[in-house]
Amino acid sequence: MKANHQTIQSLFQDAIRYDEPYTAHLIYFATRKGKVEMQDPAAKLYEMTLTREEQDKIRDMHTADKLGMRTIKLYAIKRNPTNYVFYFASNAWDARELHHQLYGCWENHLISAYNQMIDKGLYFPDRKITRTFRELMKETVVFPRWVCEVGM
C-alpha cells in the first residue's frame, strides 16, 4: 500500500506487526477520543494537535503498555567491567532473581535494554548462525530466561 494511501488502520496494524508501541498507543488514544477514525488517511494522524495533558496520557499508556505489546522485556546486568548478561523477563525482579540463581549474587542495577538491543545480532559460532534478540525471544517459550553473556 502506498504511504499516501495508507489508512490509520493499516498504520495501526503495521505498528503492532513491527513493534512500534508508541505509534500503536497514539492511534489507540486518538481513535478512542474521536480525533481520527480507522479508515481516515494516515496523514490525518500527523495533522492532529494534542494538548500537553493528552500527550502525557499517551506517554503513560505507552509506559504502562496498555496494549500489552511488550509483555516480555530484555534486561542487561553488568557482570564485570567488560561483560553483560542478558535476560528475557516480564519484569526486572524476575531477571534479577534468575541472575541470583545462576551467578549467586544480587545485582541492584539492571538496564532495560529492549530499545537499544532488540535488533542487535548475536553470532553463535557453534551453530554458525546469527540471531537477533527479537528472533531469540520469538523462539523462547519459558520466561524468565538467561539469553547470553556478552563481552563488550
Tens digit of pLDDT at every position of the chain (152 positions): 444 589 999 999 999 888 889 999 999 999 999 999 999 999 999 899 999 999 999 999 998 889 988 889 999 999 999 999 999 999 999 999 999 999 999 988 999 999 899 999 999 899 999 999 999 998 999 999 999 999 87
Strands (E), 29-138: 73-78, 83-89, 111-112, 121-124, 129-132
Cα distances from 91 to residues 75, 83, 102, in angstroms, run: 9, 21, 17
CA atoms of 9 and 113, how far apart (whole Å): 29
Note the pLDDT of residue 4. 57
- 0.95 cut: is pTM over it? no
Alpha helices in 65-105 (DSSP H): 92-103
Bridge partners of 7, per DSSP, are 41
Query: Is-cis flag, bond preceding 41, omega within 30?
Result: no
Note the pLDDT of residue 51. 95
Per domain, the residue ranges of the chain are 3-64, 73-151
Note the pLDDT of residue 145. 96
Sorted by sequence, the CB contacts under 8 Å of residue 16 that are 6+ apart come out as: 24, 67, 69
* Interior angle at CA 80, CA 79 and CA 81, nearest 5: 135
Note the pLDDT of residue 98. 97
Note the pLDDT of residue 5. 80
Note the pLDDT of residue 3. 47
Q: Are the C-beta atoms of residues 126 and 115 closer than 8 Å to each other?
A: no
